[in-house]
Amino acid sequence: MQCQRCGERPAVIHLTTIVDNTHTEQHLCEACAVAQGIQTEATLAKFPIGNFLATLGSGTATAQPTTDAEQRCSACGATLQDFRDSGRLGCSVCYDAFGASLRMLLRRIHGSSRHVGEPYASPLGMDVPPEGEPAAEVAALREQLQRAVEAENFELAARLRDEIRSRE
């Protein structure tokens, strides 16, 4: 299939848009897609995450180990340089292997290495009472226990029962 815009090159980007129940398809070559402002894998590869991380303040890239021999994941063999180049970790063990560097990176980008977003909302619709109010916490747990029993969620009910016993 040829590019619908230029008609010269083969279409490699197939863009489907739906606006007000109107379905439109475009088949574009990579050059025409870039000209329309559509990001492709090629345009993303021109700006790897490593370059972005290196521009986040002075010494960002040099504060981390620079040689492959210094840090390597024991499970997949990925290095910190691989992460800098691709912006992706190789496996779940990489989080442990590169933990210190990742924490430093998160602190620089987000200001903290811990998530401090919205508080957890219980799946049963119960609000978690503020910490430091044990009576209110136990009362909330009892109500959650009652709802879990009514919903026949006995695994959750058993956990809530044990939690109530440990707090009383």
Nearest Cα residue to 126 out of 151, 108, 102: 151
Which CA distances in Å does 116 have to 56, 96, 113, 119? Answer: 22, 21, 9, 8
Q: Which of 83, 94, 93, 30 is nearest to 52 (CA)?
A: 83
Whole-number pLDDT of residue 47: 52
Number of domains, the chain: 3
pLDDT of residue 107: 76
75 falls within a domain:
yes
What per-residue confidence (pLDDT) applies to 12? 86
- Asked whether residue 139 is domain-assigned, the answer is yes
Residue 1 lies in a domain: no
Residues 55 and 105 in one domain: yes
Helix axes 154-167, 134-150, angle to 10 degrees: 160
* 5 found inside a domain: no
Which has the closest alpha carbon to 31: 7, 66, 56?
7
Q: What angle do CA 79, 83, 86 make, to 5 degrees?
A: 130
Report, as ranges of residue numbers, the positions in the chain whose pLDDT lies below 70: 39-70, 110-133
Rg (C-alpha) for the chain, rounded Å, is: 26
If asked whether residues 20 and 58 sit together in one domain, one would say no
Q: Which of 144, 143, 126, 133 is nearest to 167 (CA)?
A: 133
pTM of the model: 0.32
Residue 166 shares a structural domain with residue 130: yes
Q: At which of 84, 110, 136 does a domain end?
A: 110
Residue 89 structural domain: 49-110
